């Protein structure tokens, strides 16, 4: 599986900077620790998703009137050996190609070779 994971990174990977964070205290935002940042390779994907805005109730004549919203869910995929520490919720990921900064919301380990991290975009780096 390591060969497959390496092939994924070689084919679709791009450079990212991962920044760990520490707790800012109860009810305070996390504090980035740029001195612990690392540069590594990850695969960035934006999976399409459709969201139903209301209860999906079928009205007269069999039509659902709930509006559908098309969106995308940004996801990063890492080789599990590419990070020196476990990826945790709140960590920041900067996509070097665009300068966009994301926050990890849901890291998932596949127990084999990859880590998939759902993220939300925080903004673009001014530098």
Q: What pLDDT score does 60 carry?
A: 57
Q: What angle (nearest 5°) sits at the alpha carbon of residue 51, between those of residues 89 and 119?
A: 20
110 contacts: CB under 8 Å, gap ≥ 6: 116
Total domains in the chain come to 1
Structural domain boundaries, residue 84: 2-52+65-124
In-domain check, residue 38: yes
Residue 59 lies in a domain: no
CATH of the domain at 89: 2.40.10
Span 94-111, pLDDT tens digits: 999 999 999 999 999 987
CA distance 20 to 36: 7
User: DSSP state, 84?
Assistant: S
31 in any annotated domain: yes
Q: Tokens 């900064």: give the residue.
A: 101
How many other C-beta atoms can be found within 10 angstroms of the C-beta atom of residue 119? Answer: 22
Model pTM above 0.95: no
């Amino acid at each position: 599986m390591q060969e497959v994971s390496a092939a994924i990174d070689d084919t679709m990977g791009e450079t990212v900077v991962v920044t760990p964070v520490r707790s800012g205290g109860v009810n305070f935002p996390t504090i980035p620790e740029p001195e612990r940042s690392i540069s590594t390779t990850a695969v960035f994907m934006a999976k399409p998703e459709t969201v139903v805005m209301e209860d999906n109730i079928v009205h007269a004549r069999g039509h659902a009137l709930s509006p559908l919203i098309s969106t995308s869910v940004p996801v990063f995929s890492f080789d599990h050996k590419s990070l020196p520490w476990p990826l945790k919720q709140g960590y920041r990921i900067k996509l070097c190609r665009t300068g966009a900064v994301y926050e990890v919301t849901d890291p998932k380990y596949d127990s084999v070779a990859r880590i998939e991290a759902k993220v939300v975009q925080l903004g673009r780096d001014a530098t």
